[in-house]
A and B are shown apart, each in its own frame.
Chain A
Amino acid sequence: MEYISTDLLKEGMTVAKDVHSQSQMLLLPAGTELSASKIRTLITWGVRRIFIEATEDLEATQNIIKQKEADNIIDTMFIHNPNNDFIHSLKMAAARNLRRKMSEEL
């Protein structure tokens, strides 16, 4: 899953998470395949970035990244926090960001 600018969206990409307007109206549900008109709709509604499913290229890049190493770093950072759903979600987001930083440094 990647979070990208609506300027970079292309037809054929798949929406990974529901997209809402600022007034919380559902614009596109997860799983929608983007068409030119759907991309225009998002831009018209002022949506700046959305989650899309990772393409094979992106997944291949991610495979290079030391995922285990990133997860271990994050686990150590959180030793003063309990395990609960919220912390788990935060650790996942932190690990994703760390992997992205690591891949940028490669």
Chain B
Amino acid sequence: MINSQLPILQVMVPLLAASLCAILPFRRLTWLIALAASLAALAISLNLLVLVLNDGPISYALGDWAAPWGIEYRVDALSAFVLVLVSALGSIIMVFAPTSLAREIDADRVFLFHAMYLLNLAGLLGMAVTGDVFNLFVFLEISSLSSYVMIGLGRDRRALTAAFQYLIMGTVGATFYVIGVGMMYMMTGTLNMADLGTRLPEVAATRTVIAAMAFIVVGLGLKLAIVPLHFWLPNAYAYAPTVVSAFLAATATKVALYALLRIVFTVFGGPAMIGLPVDQILLVLAIVAMFGASAVAIYQTDAKRLLAYSSLAQIGYMVLGISFLSATGLTATIIHLFNHALMKGALFLALGCIYLRLGSVQIEKMAGLGRRMPWTMGAFVVGGLSLIGIPLTVGFISKWYLIQAALERGWWLVAALILLSSLLAVIYVWRVVEVAYFQAPSDDMLQLREAPAVMVVPVWVLAGANVYFGVNPQQTIRAAQSAAAALLGGGG
């Protein structure tokens, strides 16, 4: 009985918990609510994943209005995978959050942070669970609006301008997306993704549908921060509270990527159907991101900013996987989507520990930190190695599949570029490691202690996951392969 209601509960639990948090101005209580709601969402998504892997996709008619007239929630292998990823990272970050937030946000605002976090979680989970293109827009805006607020909570006043810049660009992106949806509706008269998938091929050659695809790809590209559309991201990640950077880096861009995959493959049936060279455009942009953003990352003095630029480069790898237009390429994209969330989650949370003790994440101030905070820096190194793609970490699995997909297409040059751009990651990770391990600590760092266990443990859970899923990649690969098959089976 309850099983059949899981898709809606996935969204409703965090949504209701968010409104509860908004009216209860107590820091501890709202934290408990947020943690409980995140764990409940995690339990629901794990249940859904098991159900989907055993019995195939689940369809849920909202208010019992049958699709395509009513809104359909549809959970297949890919959406269940994203749901688990988002709710798992949300839960881990919530365990970490209170100590870190106490340092980075005014105490009387913490309960509002919890409300915003839950709204964001509900929006992201909703985007992954919905089977309706307009419903996706609504959830996109729920998650976006709450993330603007969370970024603006940072103590640095530059957080405000970063949030405003993100608000402008995010809203333009979301509006582009709705314009595209409108054009599709004009041609087909439906908003249901599966229904659109069957009706669009008949009208695929019209200019309206081509324009629709262009609008949607650009709109979601803004949320995803594909390279020429990325200007909001570095400032937003650099000045937001670290918990927020960690959560957004690990989940928000991933869900935007999910939405892009969903629309391009399930709805449009792959770029080739429409006759717009989306794949070639993405290929060029991805390579520019891999090199350009990594090169910029090398010159950053602020570790959070460095990670933000590195995120842009990693988004490049995910987009690169899409541009191969093959099952292996999509598998690589989905594996990296999962793996990058683990890496950036671990790295940003490690920075949260450093900020707690040091009050700064400037790289030059981290001299000798490897000896003062061995656990935190150890996790940072594991995350960094994973970012580079060293064997036995998840990063290696991602790169392995990407290169395999490139060779499958016979694109030797692209495969070489993937390896070359990894070397840039070596440089920027090394910059932090060198300062932390090979420079003598300054005198005022002598009293510096390791971060409390309640923070170090979540960091190591994520760092450990980097190694665990790097040594035992079978589950990820299997889930990613069936997710890729679900995408390609939809119409390509």
A and B from one assembly? no
